[in-house]
Amino acid sequence: MCGIFGVTGLPDPLTLVADGLRALEYRGYDSAGIVTVDPERGELWRCRAAERGRSIEKLETKMHDAPVHRGATLGHTRWATHGAPNEENAHPHVDCSGRIGLVHNGIIENHRELSAELRSAGHAFSSATDTETFAHLVESKVRAGACLREAVAACLGSVTGDFAVALVDAAEPHTIVAARRTSPLIFGRTPIGAIVSSDIAAALPTTRDLYQLGDDQVVELSPDGVVVIDASGAPAEARRLAVSWSVEAAQKSGYPDFMSKEIAEQPVALAQTLLGRFSSAGVPELEELALSRRELAGFNRVVLVACGSSYHACMSGRDAIERLAKVPAEVDIASEFRYREAVLGADTLVIAVSQSGETIDTLHALREARRRGAKAIAVSNVVDSVMAREADGVIYTHAGPEIGVASTKCHLAQHALLAVFALHLAHSRGELSGESLAAAAAELTALPGLVEAALTGSQDHAAVARRYVGVNDFYFLGRRSGFTVAAEGALKLKELAYVRAEAYPAGEMKHGPISLIEPGAVVVVIALRDGLWEKVMGNVEEMRARGATVVAVCEEGDQETEAAADAVLKVPGAGALVRPIVGVVPLQRFAYEIARARGNDVDRPRNLAKVVTVE
Ligand code: AGP
């Protein structure tokens, strides 16, 4: 969602900030803005733009009017929550005097009460945002004599909600002050200055000397150094980040978009996810996880929580855990789980799965699980993410940065890692023989090659997809692991192509939705050769009998399925553990092609954000 990027002490700060904002675009935004301090005049200069997809370009034009002297500079990409996505509501916001500039990510939950108090004390507001409240709050402390750092620290106790803020003050021209609670914010040092950023990928081109600000910590950045304090003003320490990503990993590197790059990277990403996960005898090893085998064996129930594509990975994780480890497992959508009043105890293991490790619903679900007495671990792609830090243990997918809003390589990596976890749990409980473990390890080790074959096989999945560019109604059907594939395929198509795509367990169609099937409907059926293939083929017949066009995801050489369908998307045959992972691949391409042919931006689909940091 919103992105923050700021610099102090570095040459050409406006260009650096604009570049930082471009790197943060993927988080999703509808307006953008920049503020810089003019040290000569002791005043702020600010520009903002609200033009979907072109706001940063607009800012770059406006930047020609910026003052020659530029001190501390902050930029922001806004994804509207409070107040329409227009220029008045775009950040940076300023206080009454125009002396303090502020950018913000998250929500100030008690903004109504605070702004009522501030208004009655004479503060004039110029936007409909919750953000502006914070600027006026800080203003009131600064007016009372506090420096910017002290003022921000003093405000933390008054605001509720999850947020990250960064501020400049015309009276301290080379200083940036930033603070956070839950929402992401890191800072970095260079020999001559410092930066603040919402994420690592945007910061990497400037420095690798990066630090994670703790909850309710405040950092003051200036060319003279860095000072970290807590909300009481006492000295504090931020945590140094271990950064393994390269700058190139977060660039398109010749691909037309991040999504096609990330689809192509899947075999390598999976190889990284699986690297070092098995001993030579095929025994699963999850050393990252801070839970011993003995502790793991003590859990009687597993609950997986996640959102979107991560939720779909959990669906197959649940199945693998039950089938292999024989532990009752369930999966819940994080935003629902949080309010479910789930009965949890010390014998329950909750697994929060999130690419970003920041998704607010999943984070709150993780917190709720721990509050209710369960142990909670995180599966995260971003190292040191908020969830990774708050959980009782973490395992990383190590898939490299994922910039495209639609999750591809990280989704596959989550599937694979949850399969490894299921094996680890099974082994800890003594449920699998050495032979079965070795066979499962071999199946997973072959996965990168299978995905490579699915991507480069004889069939052109894109050509099949192009036949359905004009269709507005899709149904995705499958059973068990086929249904997880169907759910992910439908989500990809919805979010990228903006067409209706409903996923149903194939057996459920007769209980209502089949009444929607009429000539013209396109039904994508997952017809992989698991134990339910024959039943799925029965469903294919039902669809065709009602005039639907059937596109089947099937295995290479499966002539029976090919004969029964109008079109097929072929993948290599695979074992039960990896079949749902391989099955997703052609559907990523299917959605990608249809979206591109419809003129949509696949990296930044409308209304969506890569990282959903508000409820
Ligand atoms: C996937 O294509 C989506 N963009 C979305 O559903 C995503 O998976 C979801 O928001 C969860 O994100 P997370 O994995 O970072 O928590």
Tell me the pLDDT tens digit for each residue of 381-404.
998 888 998 999 999 999 999 999
Output the pLDDT for position 416.
98
Say if domain 458-597 classifies as CATH 3.40.50.10490.
yes
Q: State the distance from the centre of ligand 1 to the C-alpha of 358, rounded, in angstroms.
A: 10
Output the pLDDT for position 28.
77
The verdict on the CB of residue 407 being under 6 Å from ligand 1 is yes
- Using the atom order of ligand 1, give the atom closest to the CA of residue 414: 14
pLDDT band for position 438 (cuts 50, 70, 90) = very high
Residue with the smallest CA separation from ligand 1 atom 16 is: 354
| C-beta of residue 308 within 8 angstroms of C-beta of residue 479 | no
Q: What is the mean pLDDT of residues 91-116?
A: 94
| C-beta of residue 317 within 8 angstroms of C-beta of residue 419 | yes
- Using the atom order of ligand 1, give the atom closest to the CA of residue 362: 16
Output the pLDDT for position 157.
95
Output the pLDDT for position 278.
93
- Using the atom order of ligand 1, give the atom closest to the CA of residue 609: 4
Q: What is the mean pLDDT of residues 426-451?
A: 95
Choosing from 375, 409, 492, 610, which is the catalytic residue?
A: 610
**In this structure, what are the phi and psi dihedrals at residue 185, rounded to the nearest 5 degrees?**
-165, 125
Output the pLDDT for position 115.
94
Q: For a pLDDT cut of 90, what percent of the chain falls above it?
A: 85
- Using the atom order of ligand 1, give the atom closest to the CA of residue 309: 8
Span 489-521, pLDDT tens digits: 999 999 999 999 999 999 999 899 999 999 989
- Using the atom order of ligand 1, give the atom closest to the CA of residue 407: 2
Q: State the distance from the centre of ligand 1 to the C-alpha of 318, rounded, in angstroms.
A: 18
The verdict on the CB of residue 307 being under 6 Å from ligand 1 is yes
Q: For a pLDDT cut of 70, what percent of the chain falls above it?
A: 100
314 catalytic per annotation: no
| C-beta of residue 395 within 8 angstroms of C-beta of residue 382 | no
Span 419-428, pLDDT tens digits: 999 999 999 9
410 catalytic per annotation: no
Separation of alpha carbons 187 and 444, rounded Å: 38
The verdict on the CB of residue 355 being under 6 Å from ligand 1 is yes
563 burial level (CB within 10 Å; 0-12, 13-18, 19+): exposed
pLDDT higher than 90, residue 184? no
Output the pLDDT for position 79.
85
Show me where the domains of the chain are located: 3-243, 250-445, 458-597
- Ligand 1: residue of 304, 355, 386 to mutate (most ligand atoms within 8 A of CB) is 355
| C-beta of residue 167 within 8 angstroms of C-beta of residue 219 | no
Question: What is the per-residue DSSP string for 442-505?
Answer: HHHHTHHHHHHHHHHSSS-HHHHHHTTTT--EEEEEESTHHHHHHHHHHHHHHHHH--EEEEEE
Span 188-227, pLDDT tens digits: 999 999 999 998 889 999 999 999 999 999 999 999 999 9
Output the pLDDT for position 546.
93
pLDDT band for position 376 (cuts 50, 70, 90) = very high
Output the pLDDT for position 162.
87
| C-beta of residue 371 within 8 angstroms of C-beta of residue 350 | no
- Ligand 1: residue of 410, 612, 614 to mutate (most ligand atoms within 8 A of CB) is 612
pLDDT higher than 80, residue 4? yes
Return the CATH fold of 250-445.
Rossmann fold (3.40.50)
Output the pLDDT for position 249.
75
Are domains 250-445 and 458-597 of this chain identical in fold?
yes
pLDDT band for position 107 (cuts 50, 70, 90) = confident
Output the pLDDT for position 124.
94
Q: What is the mean pLDDT of residues 105-132?
A: 93
* Class in CATH terms, 3-243: alpha beta
| C-beta of residue 61 within 8 angstroms of C-beta of residue 23 | no
pTM as predicted:
0.82
Span 254-284, pLDDT tens digits: 899 999 999 999 999 999 999 999 998 899 9
Choosing from 2, 155, 314, 410, which is the catalytic residue?
A: 2
Q: State the distance from the centre of ligand 1 to the C-alpha of 35, rounded, in angstroms.
A: 31
pLDDT band for position 336 (cuts 50, 70, 90) = very high
Q: State the distance from the centre of ligand 1 to the C-alpha of 406, rounded, in angstroms.
A: 7
pLDDT higher than 80, residue 246? no
pLDDT higher than 90, residue 615? no
Span 358-367, pLDDT tens digits: 999 999 999 9
Q: State the distance from the centre of ligand 1 to the C-alpha of 574, rounded, in angstroms.
A: 26
pLDDT band for position 610 (cuts 50, 70, 90) = confident
Going through 170-323 in order, the beta strands assigned E by DSSP cover 172-181, 186-189, 194-197, 210-212, 217-222, 225-230, 239-240, 301-306
Question: What is the per-residue DSSP string for 334-403?
Answer: HHHHTTS-----TTEEEEEEESSS--HHHHHHHHHHHHTT-EEEEEESSTT-HHHHHSSEEEE-------
Output the pLDDT for position 30.
86
Mean pLDDT of the chain: 94
Residue with the smallest CA separation from ligand 1 atom 10 is: 308
pLDDT higher than 90, residue 457? no
- From the centroid of its chain, how far is CA 162? 17
Output the pLDDT for position 242.
79
Q: What is the mean pLDDT of residues 315-322?
A: 97
| C-beta of residue 163 within 8 angstroms of C-beta of residue 202 | no
C-alpha dist (Å) from residue 573 to 450, 557, 580: 8, 9, 11
